[in-house]
Amino acid sequence: MGELGTKADGRRQKADRLIVVAFGSNLGQRREHLLGAAEQVGRLFTYFTLSPLIETAPVGEGLEHDPPYLNAVGVGTSVRSVREIFDALRAIEGAAGRTRPYQGAPRTLDLDLILAGDEVIDEPGLQVPHPRFRDRLFVLEPLAAVAPDVVDPVTGLSARELLEKKKAGA
């Protein structure tokens, strides 16, 4: 959970923590899907910024003939629970026509909760940090562009360091 702060009247309140969300789309109006989702995701946070959009090839065995992705990373602050944010992201995906017919299927919109402050969560259907983000240039590059100093609570490495490590092949 986020740290507790103190209001002017002495009551305790949950402090904002940094939330990182990865955005992807490889079906339909990809740019519009991402920008529309970014507007909705931004409403969940106190502060929000979106990285530049990048085009990437699909990653995974058997996906090489799928359409290319547009990807981005959004970074914001929130006092909302991780579960509340995750559920809101799923609802935004659903409203954009996201279906999950099989692993790696092309999608109108993919929203992945990457980081939530220093929280480490491993529950059925919810893992934070996202278990594969450290291996994905399409997440690390835009993340390092907008929040190079954000730290992965599992490795203790910053986004910049994770990107350098990935590019070095380590």
As for how many domains the chain has, the answer is 1
Q: Looking at the predicted structure, is the pLDDT value of residue 8 above 70?
A: no
Long-range contacts of 101-106, Cβ-Cβ distance < 8 Å, separation of 24 or more: 104/58, 104/60, 104/62, 104/63, 104/66, 106/26, 106/27, 106/58, 106/66, 106/67
CATH code for position 19: 3.30.70.560
Q: What is the pLDDT of residues 34-79, one digit of tens each?
A: 999 999 999 999 999 999 999 998 877 877 788 899 999 999 999 9
Range of the domain at 119: 12-167
Q: Does residue 66 have an active-site annotation?
A: no
Does a structural domain hold residue 4?
no
Q: Which of 17, 80, 98, 136 is catalytic?
A: 98
Q: What is the pLDDT of residues 121-146, one digit of tens each?
A: 999 989 999 999 999 999 999 999 99
Does a structural domain hold residue 5?
no
pTM of the model: 0.88
Does a structural domain hold residue 1?
no
Does a structural domain hold residue 129?
yes
Q: What is the pLDDT of residues 37-46, one digit of tens each?
A: 999 999 999 9
Does a structural domain hold residue 57?
yes
Q: Does residue 135 have an active-site annotation?
A: no
Q: Does residue 12 have an active-site annotation?
A: no
Report the pLDDT value the prediction gives residue 104, as an integer from 0 to 100. 64
